[in-house]
Chain A
């Protein structure tokens, strides 16, 4: 126990609530051999994983010593002995997480693809996979600082599933809408953060409102110089307006501009166009 804590690799607190299941153990056994296809010499982490997991498990079970050394041997033999101490999902997450980090850092994507379906089989929600995809890079950087990784995971593990799932769904929706707005609002770059994009959107809306005001001023000025009350003039004007609009619509569509009917990213876009 002391050895592993000296390695400062992992804190056992995420595992304290875990119910051991044989099922997850067998899945871990399945995962385990695949990890050792990777180049062992490149990373010491590989040997660390099962050890650290066992470390935490042993902290739960208070059975240290012998089984740890047993695992040290096992990790090189790619066979996990029947230690039915294993986890639930957070552990599987971490295993596949670390595996994914290794995969990416070794640029062997075959393993990650093979691990991910198993991970999803264990019932981990896909959002975690996507979150891991984003965090794989940070995992790379954080290979020497596993504590930060653990904190991230602990945060996820601690939140109740329904809450975090709902939050993630909300955030996904918001991101999707922000991306659509990005297409509409000129001057938004993909590299900009959310706050900057919101500022851009605010500026754009303000400028549009100012334009409306200015144009209505212009119309007042124009109307004070013109004097017609006749219907025919109005109808002529309307017809000419329509023709001009048709021309401009044509032109806009030719330019491929996301114009009036082209906001396709909203689900209700169909209601905009025809009605």
Chain B
């Protein structure tokens, strides 16, 4: 029952699906079933989760602030994992630290007079890269982020159901 004309091949969903499935197969290819210890399982879980986030962020490219921030975070984390003494990494983390501190300053100053400061700050922590946004952009990014998260959840649910049969 293939209805290929119903599925948009360039939609967010399909892009994410292809990327994620590719990453999943790669992960499964790396580790044959030697993993029975909880640490191994946990490592694989982390890898799958990172793959999910990464494939979603890559599907959105840098069009959105949150995807850019997420890609950046993932990249800096991967650099840290690979090469703990790299100068590049330290540069990136320094940038991250400085960015974060400046963002914190701006957020503390951001008493917009609109009155939802605590909720807005909480939302900023949830949405990646949220610290840099004012409330208007934050709401925009939140909406897109929710949409992408729902896509992610849908696709992952289907994949998980498929595997659990």
B160 with A212: CB separation less than 8 A: no
Determine the chain A residues whose CB is within 8 A of the CB of B126 once the complex forms.
202, 205-206, 209
Tell whether A224 pairs with B33 under 8 Å between CB atoms, given A198-B119, A219-B48, A260-B11.
yes
A219 with B159: CB separation less than 8 A: yes
A245 with B143: CB separation less than 8 A: no
Which residue of the partner chain B has the closest CB to A233?
Answer: B25
**CA of A195 to CA of B116, assembled, Å:** 6
Determine the chain A residues whose CB is within 8 A of the CB of B157 once the complex forms.
215
A250 with B146: CB separation less than 8 A: no
Interface residues of B in 1-59 (CB under 8 A from A): 1-4, 6-8, 10-14, 17-18, 21-22, 24-25, 27-29, 32-33, 35-36, 41, 44-45, 48-49, 52-53
B74 within 8 A of A: no
Q: Mark A172-213, 1 if CB is under 8 A from B, else 0.
A: 011001101100110000000011001101101110110111
Describe B's contact surface by its main secondary structure.
helix
**CA of A208 to CA of B152, assembled, Å:** 9
B85 within 8 A of A: no
CB distance from B5 to the nearest CB of A (A): 8
Segment of B93-101, B103-111, B132-140 engaged in the interface with chain A: B132-140
Tell whether A247 pairs with B3 under 8 Å between CB atoms, given A174-B135, A216-B45, A223-B24.
yes
Interface residues of A in 120-140 (CB under 8 A from B): none
A222 within 8 A of B: yes
CB distance from A256 to the nearest CB of B (A): 16
Interface size class of B (residues with CB under 8 A): 35 or more
Determine the chain A residues whose CB is within 8 A of the CB of B153 once the complex forms.
208, 211-212, 215
Determine the chain B residues whose CB is within 8 A of the CB of A173 once the complex forms.
136
A39 within 8 A of B: no
Cβ contact of B147, chosen from A194, A224, A249, A260, cutoff 8 A:
A260
A110 within 8 A of B: no
A22 within 8 A of B: no
Q: Mark A253-275, 1 if CB is under 8 A from B, else 0.
A: 00000001101001000011111
Determine the chain A residues whose CB is within 8 A of the CB of B116 once the complex forms.
194-195, 198
CB distance from A235 to the nearest CB of B (A): 9
Cβ contact of B143, chosen from A184, A209, A241, cutoff 8 A:
A184
A245 with B17: CB separation less than 8 A: yes
B156 within 8 A of A: yes
Further pairs besides A212-B152, A260-B13: 11, Cβ < 8 Å: A180-B143, A185-B146, A194-B114, A205-B142, A205-B145, A215-B153, A215-B157, A244-B158, A245-B7, A246-B2, A247-B1
What 7 pairs across the A-B complex have the smallest Cβ distances? A222-B163, A198-B119, A177-B139, A246-B7, A208-B149, A215-B156, A216-B49
Chain B interface (Cβ < 8 Å from any Cβ of A)? 1-4, 6-8, 10-14, 17-18, 21-22, 24-25, 27-29, 32-33, 35-36, 41, 44-45, 48-49, 52-53, 63, 112-116, 119-120, 122-123, 126-127, 135-136, 139-140, 142-147, 149-160, 162-164
